[in-house]
Amino acid sequence: MAVAYCAFVTVSHTSGFTPMKAELPPNTDLKAIIADLADNHVAAPKGRKQDGLADIAASARDHGIDLNIIVVPGNPGIEATLRDLATEVGKIEHGTVVVFSDDWVGTASDSFTRARLEWAEDKSKYRGSDHTEEAARTFVDRLEQPETVSWTIITLVMLVGLISVIGGLAVVKMRRAPEDEPVADERPRTPVA
Q: What are phi and psi of 14, to 5 degrees?
A: -80, 120
Closest-CA residue to 96 (of 117, 79, 124, 75): 117
CA separation for the pair 73, 50 (Å, rounded): 14
pTM greater than 0.75: no
pLDDT by residue for the chain (193 residues), tens only, comes to 555 555 555 555 555 555 555 677 777 888 999 999 999 999 998 878 889 999 999 999 999 999 999 999 888 888 889 999 999 999 998 899 999 998 899 999 999 999 899 989 988 887 776 788 999 999 999 998 876 666 788 899 999 999 999 999 999 988 887 765 555 566 666 766 6
In three-state secondary structure terms, 86 is helix
Q: Within a 13 Å sphere around the CA of 171, how many CA atoms are in the beta-carbon half?
A: 6
- Give the pLDDT of residue 166: 95
How many angstroms separate the Cα of 185 from the Cα of each of 188, 189, 191? Answer: 8, 9, 15
Q: Give me the phi and psi of 12, to 5 degrees please.
A: -120, 120
